[in-house]
Amino acid sequence: MYGTIVELDRKSACGVIRPDDGSPDIHISAEEFVTSGLKAAQSGERVFFAEDMDTQGNKHADHIVPVALMCRGNHRSTVY
């Protein structure tokens, strides 16, 4: 799923992503903020993410990857 970081609080290491598909904004947990390498991310940055649910039934973003990093990948898999 694609979206844009609309809120980022570095002190509490959490934030909010607005999904491109118009679904409700989704929370970025403090744990995911660290494991996804979002320390350098900024509000307005486009990201790819998975939607997950915690044990209390609250949705949150998981496996967050800035779109800019996805474009730098290995292109050997291109079929000609």
**What would the pLDDT profile of 28-79 be if each residue is shown by its tens digit?**
877 776 666 666 778 899 999 999 998 999 899 988 888 887 766 544 444 4
Domain harbouring 26, CATH code: 2.40.50.140
Confidence class of residue 20 from pLDDT cuts 50, 70 and 90? Answer: very high
Range of 18's domain? 2-70
Is the Cβ–Cβ distance between 16 and 4 less than 8 Å? no
> Does 7 map to a domain?
yes
Task: Please work out, in degrees rounded to the nearest 5, the angle formed at the alpha carbon of residue 56 by the alpha carbons of 2 and 53.
Answer: 20
pTM: 0.77
